[in-house]
């Protein structure tokens, strides 16, 4: 009997709540009518039936309501449809808000790892415009390096990435000096007020000058390849060669054929397509999305953003504890300034006009000028001048990559037929370059040949001559002593 009474009380309570909700809706409706929907209100004058906007919308709205009128058949016969649907709308709205708040504050949900702010640890150089550029150095020292490699990082990354998981012993084996740096506004580098890809190439050249590097290889991975392309265009005389891994190109490039563009866009999710659209047309709106994901301070939000377009092997790699620890530390360094502007700038650079075309990098004969001096020079010189990048370009592309689809590399190879493309079956966006010792061995062997170790330190000529003279004098003194 007590259970029946409790059940009856609960039912009566719910009926009372429902009646109070209906009366509350009626009261809100009356307030709106009295304050906003009377004939003298601003809303009626500018949006009412007799206003210009009201006359233009009357016809389309009538057609829409007529098409949706069949929903009224599910309402009780004694209820006004306008009143009933307004109540239903507000009930659904309150229910959705209640579910959202409950989801955000669910005490049983697993704790989300917070983004940690680490103490500054980077080396720095001061650029000519006064900005500080943070960098990291790996491998052999400058005077023992056979090869110098500079690697601009990709989106949502930092100088800590470099070649993920590469062993110092392998860099020593090939005599490589690996330099990585934070792009403006990322990590510990100061932001650039008006950066573009030309200024990015200039920053790379200034870093090389400050660290005593003359010729170097540029290594671009994913969207970091955008800055590698810029180096090939604006500072080609400083480069010995280029290595690209899943190189990002502008998906709106006018040189792309319809088929290449279709194969590229079909690999992406709707959300990724929408973000690219915003980056191209309304880049300021990206700040809202990045603030809630990349700069949310929670690794869970960032991981969900990263997994927008990942293949099967990439998802399996993300679950590896070694990769997860590396990735989270790199992300924490990338977002340490908590400034959304550099991320918006980087996204906009990917999909807007680069200031050059990839066809400008193609090796081709320079067209002869019609000037008389140029004609006479060509008559007396046998050398033929070329334009474009003269060094080697190597590209590695995973065929299961859904972040940078293989169709992008096909487009690059069509425009730059001299580039050597290495297609990797079953590999994704991360699996070849991240923590793969055998892969790193293959890459360095392809670029630099048989490992020869670091350079031996040359002995100063004057010092060597002086040591030789001392040894000779000691021999003469010994002979004289033996004779006596």
Question: Would you say residue 330 lies in a domain?
Answer: yes
Of 261-265, 322-326, 363-367, the range with the highest mean pLDDT is 261-265
Same domain for 288 and 157: yes
Question: Would you say residue 12 lies in a domain?
Answer: yes
What average pLDDT does range 194-206 have in this prediction?
Answer: 96
**What's the pLDDT at 153?**
96
Number of domains in the chain: 2
pLDDT band at 297 (very low <50, low <70, confident <90, very high): confident
Least trusted range by pLDDT, from 194-198, 308-312, 405-409: 308-312
Residue 280 sits in a domain whose CATH number is 3.40.50.1820
What average pLDDT does range 65-73 have in this prediction?
Answer: 65
Q: Tens of pLDDT along 240-252?
A: 999 999 999 999 9
Residue 303, pLDDT > 50, answer yes
Same domain for 135 and 99: no
Question: Would you say residue 114 lies in a domain?
Answer: no
Domain that holds residue 31: 1-103
What average pLDDT does range 25-29 have in this prediction?
Answer: 78
| Residue, of 458 and 273, whose pLDDT is higher | 273
Question: Would you say residue 110 lies in a domain?
Answer: no
Same domain for 137 and 2: no
pTM value? 0.72
Same domain for 137 and 94: no
Residue 84, pLDDT > 70, answer no
Least trusted range by pLDDT, from 165-169, 227-231, 284-288: 284-288
Same domain for 349 and 450: yes
What average pLDDT does range 260-287 have in this prediction?
Answer: 90
**What's the pLDDT at 395?**
98
pLDDT band at 17 (very low <50, low <70, confident <90, very high): confident
**What's the pLDDT at 152?**
97
Residue 154, pLDDT > 50, answer yes
Question: Would you say residue 111 lies in a domain?
Answer: no
What average pLDDT does range 145-150 have in this prediction?
Answer: 97
What average pLDDT does range 279-301 have in this prediction?
Answer: 85
Question: Would you say residue 304 lies in a domain?
Answer: yes
Same domain for 165 and 80: no
| Residue, of 102 and 267, whose pLDDT is higher | 267
Give percent of the chain above pLDDT 90. Answer: 51
**What's the pLDDT at 465?**
47
Question: Would you say residue 483 lies in a domain?
Answer: no
SS3 readout for the chain: CHHHHHHHHHHHHHHHHHHHHHHHHHHHHHHHHHHCCCCCCHHHHHHCCCCHHHHHHHHHHHHHHHHHHHHHHHCCCCCCHHHHHHHHHHHHHHHHHHHHHHHHCCCCCCCCCECCCCCCCCEEEECCCCCEEEEEEEECCHHHCCEEEEEECCCCCCCCCCCCCCCHHHHHHHCEEEEEECCCCCCCCCCCCCCCHHHHHHHHHHHHHHCCCCCEEEEEEHHHHHHHHHHHHHCHHHEEEEEEECCCCCCCCCCCCHHHHHHHHCCCCHHHHHHHHHHHHCHHHHHHHHHHCCCCCEHHHHHHHHCCCCCHHHHHHHCCHHHHHHHHHHHHHHCCCCCCHHHHHHHHHHHCCCCCCHHHHCCEECCCCCCHHHHHHHHHCCCCCEECCCCCEEEEEECCCCCCCHHHHHHHHHHCCCCEEEEECCCCCCCCCCCCHHHHHHHHHHHHCCCCCCCCCCCCHHHHHHHHHHHHHHHHHHHHHHHC
Question: Would you say residue 435 lies in a domain?
Answer: yes
């Amino acid at each position: 009997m007590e259970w029946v009474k409790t059940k009856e009380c609960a039912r009566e309570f719910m009926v009372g709540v429902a009646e109070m909700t209906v009366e509350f809706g009626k009261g809100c409706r009356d307030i709106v009518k009295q304050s906003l929907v009377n004939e003298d209100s601003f809303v009626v004058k500018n949006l009412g039936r007799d206003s210009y906007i009201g006359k233009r919308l009357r016809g389309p709205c009538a057609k829409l309501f007529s098409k949706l009128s069949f929903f009224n058949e599910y309402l009780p016969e004694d209820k006004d449809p306008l009143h009933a649907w307004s109540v239903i709308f507000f009930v659904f709205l309150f229910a959705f808000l209640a579910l959202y708040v409950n989801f955000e504050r669910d005490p049983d949900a697993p704790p989300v790892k917070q983004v940690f702010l680490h103490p500054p640890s980077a080396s720095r150089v001061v650029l000519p415009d006064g900005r500080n550029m943070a960098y990291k150095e790996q491998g052999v020292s400058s005077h023992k390096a056979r090869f110098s490699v500079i690697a601009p990082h990709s989106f949502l990354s930092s100088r800590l990435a470099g070649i993920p998981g590469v062993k110092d012993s392998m860099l020593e084996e090939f005599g490589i000096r690996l330099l990585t740096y934070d792009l403006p506004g990322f990590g510990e580098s100061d932001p650039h007020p008006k950066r573009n890809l030309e200024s990015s190439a200039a920053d790379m050249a200034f870093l090389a000058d400050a660290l005593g590097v003359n010729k170097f290889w540029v290594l671009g991975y994913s969207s970091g390849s955008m800055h590698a392309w810029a180096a090939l265009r604006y500072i080609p005389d400083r480069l010995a060669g280029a290595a690209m891994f899943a190189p990002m190109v502008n998906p709106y490039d006018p040189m792309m054929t319809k088929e290449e563009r279709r194969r590229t866009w079909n690999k992406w999710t709707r959300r990724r397509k929408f973000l690219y659209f915003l980056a191209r047309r309304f880049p300021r709106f990206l700040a809202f999305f990045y603030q809630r994901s990349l700069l949310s301070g929670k690794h869970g939000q960032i991981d969900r953003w990263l997994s927008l377009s990942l293949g099967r092997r990439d998802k399996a790699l993300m679950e590896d504890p070694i990769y997860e620890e590396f990735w989270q530390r790199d992300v924490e360094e990338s977002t340490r300034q908590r400034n959304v502007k550099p991320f918006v700038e980087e996204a906009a650079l990917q999909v807007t006009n680069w200031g050059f075309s990839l066809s400008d990098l193609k090796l081709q004969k320079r067209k002869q000028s019609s000037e008389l001096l140029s004609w006479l020079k060509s008559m007396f010189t046998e050398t033929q001048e070329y334009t474009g990048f003269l060094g080697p370009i190597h590209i590695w592309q995973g065929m299961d990559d859904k972040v940078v689809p293989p169709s992008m590399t096909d487009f690059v190879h069509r425009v730059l037929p001299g580039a050597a493309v290495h297609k990797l079956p079953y590999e994704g966006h991360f699996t070849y370059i991240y923590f793969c010792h055998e892969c790193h061995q293959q890459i360095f062997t392809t670029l630099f040949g048989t490992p020869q170790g670091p350079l031996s330190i040359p002995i100063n000529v004057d010092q060597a001559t002086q040591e030789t003279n001392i040894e000779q004098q000691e021999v003469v003194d010994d002979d004289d002593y033996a004779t006596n």
